[in-house]
A and B are shown apart, each in its own frame.
Chain A
Amino acid sequence: MTVLRTLLLLLFCNMAFATEDSPETMLAFISRELVVSSNLRGDFSQRKYLSFVDKPFVSSGQFRLDRESGLFWHVIEPLESTMLVKEGRIFLDGKPVEDQGVGKLITIVMLGFMEGNLSGLTEVFSVSTEGVADGWSVSLTPRSSRLRAAIALIRIQGKHHLSSIEIVDAEQNRTLMQFSNVRSGSEEVVPRDKPQR
Chain B
Amino acid sequence: MTSHSDKLQGLTWVLLAFGLLLLSAIAWPEPGWLKSDFQALLPAGGNDRWVEGASRQAASAYETQLVVLVEGEDVSRTKEFFESVRDELITQGLIVANFNEVEAGKWRALGKELYPYRWNLLTASDYLALERDAPSFLENFRKKIYTPLGGVLAETLPTDPMGTFRKYLQAAIPISASSTIDQLPETVQFGVFTIPQGMRSLDSKSNMYSAYSRLKERAAEDGMALYATGVPLYSSYGAQSAKQEISTIGVVSLVLLVGLQVAFLRSIAAIGLTLISVATGVAGGVVITVLVMRELHILTLVFGTTIIGIAVDYSYHYLAHSLLPGWRREKALSRVFTSLGLGVLSSVVAFFALTFMPFPGIRQIGLFMAAGLLCSFLTVCLLYPLLYRGPPVGAQLPPLFRGSRLTLRSLRAPLLIVLMAIPGWLLLTPLDEVRTFYGKPPVLGEDEEVIVERMSVASDSRYFLVRGSNPEVVLETEERLSRLADTLSQDAEVLELHGVSNVVPSSVAQRRNFDLVRRVLESGELAEHLDNLGFKRAYRDEVLNSIPAVFEPLQLTDLDRISLPSGMGGFIGCQEAECASWVSISSRGAADSLSHLLRGNPSVTYVDPIGDINSLLADYRKGVMIAMAGGVVSILAILCLFYGWRRAVPLLLLPVAACLLTIAAIGYLRGSYTIINLLALLLIFGVSMDYSIFRGLSSPADQPAVTFAISLSALTSVVAFGMLAFSQTPLISTFGETIAIGLSVAFALSWLRVEWRR
Within 8 A of A (CB), among B260-279: none
A171 at the interface (CB under 8 A from B): yes
Residue in A80, A83, A99 whose beta carbon sits within 8 Å of that of B170 in the complex: A99
User: Residue of A at shortest CB range from B147?
Assistant: A83
- Beyond contacts A54-B534, A100-B149: 16 other A-B pairs, Cβ-Cβ < 8 A, are A24-B76, A50-B154, A52-B536, A53-B535, A54-B535, A55-B534, A57-B154, A75-B143, A93-B143, A99-B149, A99-B167, A103-B150, A106-B151, A144-B101, A169-B152, A173-B155
Within 8 A of B (CB), among A71-111: 73, 75, 78-81, 83, 88, 90, 92-93, 97-104, 106-107, 110
Top 3 nearest A-B pairs (CB, nearest first) are A103-B149, A59-B146, A52-B539
A175 at the interface (CB under 8 A from B): yes
Tell whether, in the assembled complex, residue B157 and residue A52 are in contact, meaning their CB atoms are under 8 Å apart. Answer: yes
Interface residues on A, range: 35 or more
Within 8 A of A (CB), among B151-170: 151-155, 157-158, 163, 166-167, 170
Q: Which residues of B contact A (CB under 8 A)?
A: 75-76, 79, 101, 104, 108, 139-140, 142-155, 157-158, 163, 166-167, 170-171, 182-183, 186, 533-536, 539
Residue in B143, B148, B155 whose beta carbon sits within 8 Å of that of A46 in the complex: B148
Interface 9-residue window, one of A2-10, A32-40, A131-139, A145-153: A145-153
Query: From residue A64, how far is it (CB to closest CB) to chain B in Å?
Result: 14
- Inter-chain contacts of B149 with A (CB < 8 A): 83, 90, 92, 97, 99-101, 103-104, 106-107
Docked CA distance A88–B151 (Å): 19
A167 at the interface (CB under 8 A from B): yes
Query: From residue B229, how far is it (CB to closest CB) to chain A in Å?
Result: 22
A193 at the interface (CB under 8 A from B): no
A16 at the interface (CB under 8 A from B): no
- Inter-chain contacts of A83 with B (CB < 8 A): 147-149
Tell whether, in the assembled complex, residue A103 and residue B152 are in contact, meaning their CB atoms are under 8 Å apart. Answer: yes
A177 at the interface (CB under 8 A from B): yes
Interchain residue pairs with CB less than 8 A apart (18): A46-B146, A53-B536, A57-B533, A79-B146, A81-B143, A83-B148, A90-B149, A92-B147, A93-B140, A98-B170, A101-B152, A104-B149, A106-B151, A119-B186, A144-B104, A169-B151, A173-B154, A177-B148
Residue in A98, A123, A171 whose beta carbon sits within 8 Å of that of B155 in the complex: A171
Docked CA distance A175–B155 (Å): 10
A160 at the interface (CB under 8 A from B): no
Query: From residue B148, how far is it (CB to closest CB) to chain A in Å?
Result: 5
Tell whether, in the assembled complex, residue A73 and residue B148 are in contact, meaning their CB atoms are under 8 Å apart. Answer: yes
Residue in A52, A80, A102 whose beta carbon sits within 8 Å of that of B158 in the complex: A52
- Inter-chain contacts of B182 with A (CB < 8 A): 88
Query: From residue A75, how far is it (CB to closest CB) to chain B in Å?
Result: 5
Tell whether, in the assembled complex, residue A99 and residue B163 are in contact, meaning their CB atoms are under 8 Å apart. Answer: yes
Q: Is chain A's binding surface mostly helix, strand, loop or mixed?
A: mixed
Given the contacts A53-B535, A55-B534, A88-B183, A119 and B75 also touching, CB distance less than 8 Å: yes
- Inter-chain contacts of A88 with B (CB < 8 A): 182-183
Docked CA distance A90–B179 (Å): 13
Tell whether, in the assembled complex, residue A57 and residue B186 are in contact, meaning their CB atoms are under 8 Å apart. Answer: no
Q: Chain A CB within 10 Å — which of B145, B152, B171 has the most? A: B152
Tell whether, in the assembled complex, residue A48 and residue B104 are in contact, meaning their CB atoms are under 8 Å apart. Answer: no
Q: Which residues of A contact B (CB under 8 A)?
A: 24, 46, 48, 50, 52-55, 57, 59, 73, 75, 78-81, 83, 88, 90, 92-93, 97-104, 106-107, 110, 119-120, 123, 144-146, 149-150, 167, 169, 171, 173, 175, 177
Docked CA distance A50–B534 (Å): 10
Query: From residue A197, how far is it (CB to closest CB) to chain B in Å?
Result: 9
User: Residue of A at shortest CB range from B537?
Assistant: A54
Docked CA distance A80–B143 (Å): 7
Query: From residue B152, how far is it (CB to closest CB) to chain A in Å?
Result: 5
Tell whether, in the assembled complex, residue B186 and residue A120 are in contact, meaning their CB atoms are under 8 Å apart. Answer: yes
- Inter-chain contacts of A52 with B (CB < 8 A): 157-158, 535-536, 539
Query: From residue B294, how far is it (CB to closest CB) to chain A in Å?
Result: 40
Docked CA distance A175–B147 (Å): 11
- Inter-chain contacts of A99 with B (CB < 8 A): 144, 149, 153, 163, 166-167, 170
Query: From residue A93, how far is it (CB to closest CB) to chain B in Å?
Result: 7
Tell whether, in the assembled complex, residue A107 and residue B536 are in contact, meaning their CB atoms are under 8 Å apart. Answer: no
User: Residue of A at shortest CB range from B104?
Assistant: A146
- Inter-chain contacts of A120 with B (CB < 8 A): 186
- Inter-chain contacts of A169 with B (CB < 8 A): 151-152, 155
